[in-house]
Amino acid sequence: MTEFGAARAHMIESQLRPNKVIDARVLDAFGGIRRELFVPDHLRVVAYIDEDLPLGGGRYLMEPMVVARLLQAAQIERTDKVLIIGAGTGYEAALAAALARSVIALEEDPELARRARAALVEHFIASVSVVEGPLPQGYRPRAPYDVVLFCGAVADVPSEIDTQLAEGGRVLAVVKSANGIGRATLWARTGGVMARRVLFDAATPLLPGFSPKPAFAF
């Protein structure tokens, strides 16, 4: 086993399984995707630590445990179409591709999108389409989606993205309030109604452009 292969196995056994990640398909996805290819070269030696890793420009690759628990809660089926918002270098999109029929990876930073495409090609993953555009607008041309996953914390989910979710669809995001507390949250659409459930606490950094609005002081 390579050094990175050993680190990948250790991540699964020491970070994911002890934190209630038990879905075999999710664990297999993490075992098959080389996280070291989705981080800057100087961070490859720490690619598998249980931390959010900086990608530059205020962007981060989310902590593995948080991603794994969000994907597990999403209950992605092999027939599902997934939208990844703030795809960054494409790691979460690659994981979702192991679970879903197709994945749209939306990214607004051209350099991150380029790196995502390169890493996905390195993995021979053809079911992910990396598209560029403003993150809060989602990607309507391929809607509706069965699952929407935000790769970073948000103050709330834009209504434009709500309208791109299919009946029975799920939205997963870490919601961070003005006081800085982050909570991983699941929304599910049933009968046209969105039900919300908090899953666990998470200290995920905010996605630029999704920060809480400043409160007015009187």
Q: Are the beta carbons of 149 and 92 closer than 8 angstroms?
A: yes
Residue by residue, DSSP assigns 85-152 as: ES-TTSHHHHHHHTTSSEEEEEES-HHHHHHHHHHHHHTT--SEEEEES-GGG--GGG--EEEEEESS
pLDDT in tens, 125-138: 999 999 999 999 99
pLDDT in tens, 119-128: 999 999 999 9
Q: How confident is the model at residue 217 (pLDDT cuts 50, 70, 90)?
A: very low
pLDDT in tens, 7-25: 999 999 999 999 999 999 9
Residue 218 has pLDDT above 50, yes or no: no
pTM over 0.85: yes
Q: Are the beta carbons of 94 and 38 closer than 8 angstroms?
A: yes
Q: How confident is the model at residue 178 (pLDDT cuts 50, 70, 90)?
A: confident
> Any idea how long the chain is?
218
What mean pLDDT is predicted for residues 82-92? Answer: 98
* Amino acid identity at 146: D
Q: Is the dihedral of CA 91, 120, 111, 156 positive or negative?
A: negative
**Domains, the chain, ordered by start:** 3-201 (3.40.50.150)
With a pLDDT cut of 70, the percent of the chain lying above it is 96
